[in-house]
């Protein structure tokens, strides 16, 4: 089966919720069914955006001011949007992104107290207000998330979240889900099992073949 339709899926969640794992499963399951699908991530997802990602997570440098972090995230998004998201839209493929604008809301606005008006204006400007067709929010209990993070080789500065901040960020995503359940789905990924993989695939399949 080969369907030609741009369908933008975003996975959101705090670190250690198993997004990458579920993204890979979904990507492989869609490929098996011959859908044209591409996976990407933020910050990053294009050559130039990945360069900005390196600057953001560079362990050698001094810690950036939170406003600088915010603008670096946006700069990366602009490059990603122009070089990856828009071409995917043009090619009418399924695009799965590990994070997008809601991460800026959760981490910079809720976590770092960046003014949400500034956030909304900038994000709308960069993305021409292009919203995902489906946002999958993964939530996990803190213990499962931190044991996943302990296994990671390449830890970035955001991987050392305190429990309080972890829950604050997770709750920001849950709040977004609650405010718009037609575009968002919420799954508990504390146990990242085959059952969850199946549930996500079934949901996506239903939406893309509608
Ligand atoms: P990840 O690739 O493991 O998801 O890590 C990306 C980190 O970047 C994660 O801690 C969340 C953070 N981030 C922001 O703070 N703001 C953003 O807008 C995005 C896209 C990511």
* SS3 state at 60: coil
How many angstroms is it from 202 CA to the middle of ligand 1?
27
Tell me the CA–centroid distance for residue 105 and ligand 1, in Å. 11
Residue bearing the CA closest to ligand 1, atom 9: 158
Record the tokens describing residue 119, joined without a space: 């956030």
Q: Which of 133-137, 145-149, 178-182, 201-205 is predicted with the least confidence, judged by mean pLDDT?
A: 145-149
pLDDT band at 158 (very low <50, low <70, confident <90, very high): low
Q: Are 1 and 35 in contact (CB under 8 A)?
A: yes
Q: What is the mean pLDDT of residues 61-76?
A: 94
pLDDT tens-place string over residues 103-134 = 999 999 999 999 999 999 999 999 999 999 99
Question: What is the percent of the chain with per-residue pLDDT over 90, rounded to a whole number?
Answer: 83
Q: Which fold has domain 7-38+95-209?
A: Rossmann fold (3.40.50)
The pTM of this model reads 0.95
d(CA 197, CA 32): 14
Which mutation among 158, 161, 162 tests ligand 1's pocket best, with the greatest number of atoms within 8 A of CB?
Answer: 158
Q: Which atom of ligand 1 is nearest to the CA of 69?
A: 15
* pLDDT in the model for residue 162: 86
Q: Residue 126: CB within 6 Å of ligand 1?
A: no
3 state DSSP class of 8: strand
- Residue 32's alpha-carbon distances to 1, 27, 44, 183, in angstroms, are 10, 9, 26, 25
In eight-state DSSP terms, residue 153 is S
- 7 C-beta closer than 6 A to ligand 1: no
Peptide bond into 69 cis (omega under 30): no
pLDDT band at residue 157 using 50, 70 and 90 as cut-offs: low
């Amino acid at each position: 089966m080969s369907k030609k339709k741009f369908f933008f899926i975003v996975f959101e969640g705090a670190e250690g919720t198993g997004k990458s794992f579920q993204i890979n499963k979904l990507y492989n399951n869609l490929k098996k069914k011959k859908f044209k699908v591409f996976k990407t991530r933020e910050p990053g997802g294009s050559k130039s955006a990945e360069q900005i990602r390196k600057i953001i997570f560079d362990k050698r440098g001094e810690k950036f001011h939170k406003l600088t972090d915010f603008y670096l995230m946006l700069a990366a998004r602009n490059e990603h949007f122009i070089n990856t998201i828009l071409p995917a839209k043009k090619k009418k493929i399924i695009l799965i992104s590990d994070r997008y604008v809601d991460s800026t809301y959760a981490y910079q606005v809720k976590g770092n107290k960046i003014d949400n008006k500034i956030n909304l204006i900038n994000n709308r400007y960069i993305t021409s207000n292009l919203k995902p067709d489906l946002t999958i929010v993964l939530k996990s209990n803190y213990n499962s998330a931190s044991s996943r993070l302990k296994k990671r080789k390449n830890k970035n500065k955001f991987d050392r979240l305190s429990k309080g901040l972890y829950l604050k960020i997770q709750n920001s995503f849950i709040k977004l889900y609650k405010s718009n359940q037609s575009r968002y789905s919420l799954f508990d990924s504390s146990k990242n099992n085959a059952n969850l993989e199946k549930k996500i695939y079934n949901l996506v399949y239903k939406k893309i073949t509608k």
